[in-house]
Amino acid sequence: RGNDVIIVLVGNKTDLSDQRQVSTEEGEQKAKDSVVLFIETSAKAGFNVKALFRKIAQALPGGNEVSSGSGKGT
């Protein structure tokens, strides 16, 4: 893969915690092992959706200018 590719491992549906099959720690470790970004989201609840796209924007060249914010919301 080229250096200009941004890969994010996203654990979605965090609102369904009773059906979770992969722990946060397992997701973080897999992302670390694969040298990719990691974030957990819930599109239904609107949790970390904006943060996901901010994280991608910040990983782009010149992305340091993107404001951070709370990370919650759609």
pTM of the model: 0.76
Tokens of 40: 């957990």
Determine the pLDDT at residue 62.
78
57 near 51, Cβ under 8 Å?
Answer: no
DSSP code, position 64 = G
pLDDT in tens, the chain (74 residues): 566 789 999 999 999 999 999 999 999 999 999 999 999 999 999 999 999 999 999 998 877 765 545 445 54
For CA atoms 49, 52, 56, 59, give the dihedral sign: positive
Determine the pLDDT at residue 67.
54
CA atoms within 13 A on the CB side of 71: 8
The residue with tokens 């009773």 is 18
Tokens of 64: 């340091």
